[in-house]
């Protein structure tokens, strides 16, 4: 398989940084390839939140050079009969569990998926609870050295796909959901700029989330007064609800984890925001 490794390996997990788990994975990768360059995407994915990790990976990987190996381990099914896989897509390699974490990438482009079944590329002893260290990390190390992924197992044609909620229209409104609460307390939705452009028909938009209602969509945070709530398109191109110089997540009265999946309604100004 014609993939020229860049020597870069990214890591995305829900392991946190309080425990040594991430460090162990890095040690294994470097034991296989001492000159690998390891980059952390994040280790603060909400535990078990496959969809959150999938979105992070989809947004992040295009900014890395071709030949980068991306290891994504959010794996509530570790130790079960779920498969370990490597995915080739757009000259990048993705390593992780076959649990749908790579669904957005497989949907946006043609991908080759290989079942990691050749134990010689794993650690000698594979635990039932830490495949990130014992399978995915050593596989990434070998891939970064140029090992052909086709040597690691057979091609499969039935990888797990997860269908993530998409924005939809109903009764004159556009509905989406909060999919991430970032470090700044911004609420990031799955409503894309093009969804709004197709829906707005040139009208000013009103955004509602629970008891919060925002008139208009701004271009920058500074277009509102400090402490004011606003809606804008973030760097990902998705609609965000934020506070200028503050944390909108703190205004909801809910834990950030409880915000994930909350419904967001967008209406044209003058339309009945509660029409159904």
CATH (domain of 245): 2.40.30.90
3-state secondary structure at position 251: helix
Q: Which among 97, 127, 156 is the end of a domain?
A: 156
Dihedral sign of CA atoms 17, 19, 23, 28 in order: negative
Same domain for 152 and 180, yes or no, is: no
Same domain for 112 and 14, yes or no, is: yes
CATH of the domain at 108: 3.40.50.10790
Same domain for 65 and 119, yes or no, is: yes
Non-local CB neighbours of 182 within 8 Å, separated by 6+ positions: 188
What tokens does 267 get? 């209406």
Q: Which among 156, 177, 195 is the end of a domain?
A: 156
Within-domain flag for 15 = yes
Instruction: Give the chain's domain count.
Output: 2
Which region among 114-118, 148-152, 156-160, 196-200 has the lowest average model confidence (pLDDT)? 196-200
Same domain for 23 and 50, yes or no, is: yes
E strand segments, the chain: 8-13, 37-42, 69-73, 84-89, 92-97, 112-115, 155-156, 168-170, 173-181, 187-192, 205-209, 212-215, 229-233, 238-243, 263-268
State pLDDT tens for residues 94-126: 999 999 999 999 999 999 999 999 999 999 999
pLDDT for 236 beyond 90? no
Beta strands 84-89 and 92-97, pairing class: antiparallel
- Predicted pLDDT at 275: 38
Same domain for 140 and 187, yes or no, is: no
List the 37-42 sheet strands across, edge first.
37-42, 8-13, 69-73, 92-97, 84-89, 112-115, 155-156
Residue written as tokens 């269908």? 163
The 8-class DSSP code of residue 98 comes to S
Within-domain flag for 161 = no
How far apart CA 202 and CA 275 sit, in angstroms, is 20
Pairwise pLDDT comparison (189 vs 272), residue with the higher score = 189
For residue 236, the enclosing domain spans 168-268
Same domain for 174 and 101, yes or no, is: no
Residue 254 to residues 29, 49, 76, 227, Cα–Cα distance (Å): 39, 18, 25, 19
**Average per-residue pLDDT for the chain:** 93
Number of H helices, E strands in the chain: 7, 15
What tokens does 256 get? 């950030």
């Amino acid at each position: 398989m014609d993939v020229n490794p860049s020597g870069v390996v990214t890591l995305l997990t829900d392991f946190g940084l309080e425990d040594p788990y991430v460090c162990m994975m890095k040690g294994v990768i470097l034991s296989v390839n001492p000159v690998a360059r390891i980059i952390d995407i994040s280790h603060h994915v909400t535990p078990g939140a496959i969809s959150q990790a999938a979105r992070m990976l989809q947004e992040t990987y295009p900014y890395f050079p071709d030949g980068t190996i991306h290891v994504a381990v959010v794996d509530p099914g570790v130790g079960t009969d779920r498969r370990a896989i490597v995915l080739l897509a757009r000259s990048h390699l993705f390593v992780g569990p076959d649990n749908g974490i790579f669904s957005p990438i497989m949907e946006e482009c043609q991908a080759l998926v290989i079942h990691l079944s050749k134990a010689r590329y794993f650690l000698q002893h594979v635990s039932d609870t830490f495949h990130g260290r014992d399978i995915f990390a050593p596989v990434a190390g070998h891939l970064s050295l140029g090992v052909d992924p086709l040597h690691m197992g057979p091609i499969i044609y039935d990888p797990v796909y997860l269908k993530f909620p998409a924005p939809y229209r109903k009764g004159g409104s556009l509905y989406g959901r909060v999919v991430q609460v970032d470090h700044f307390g911004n609420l990031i939705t799955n409503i894309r700029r093009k969804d709004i452009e197709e829906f707005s028909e040139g009208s000013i938009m009103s955004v509602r989330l629970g008891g919060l209602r925002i008139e208009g969509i701004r271009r920058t945070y500074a277009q509102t007064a400090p402490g004011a709530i606003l809606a804008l398109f973030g760097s990902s191109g998705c609609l965000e609800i934020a506070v200028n110089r503050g944390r909108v997540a703190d205004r909801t009265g809910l834990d950030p984890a409880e915000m994930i999946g909350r419904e967001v309604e967008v209406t044209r100004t003058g339309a009945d925001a509660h029409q159904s």
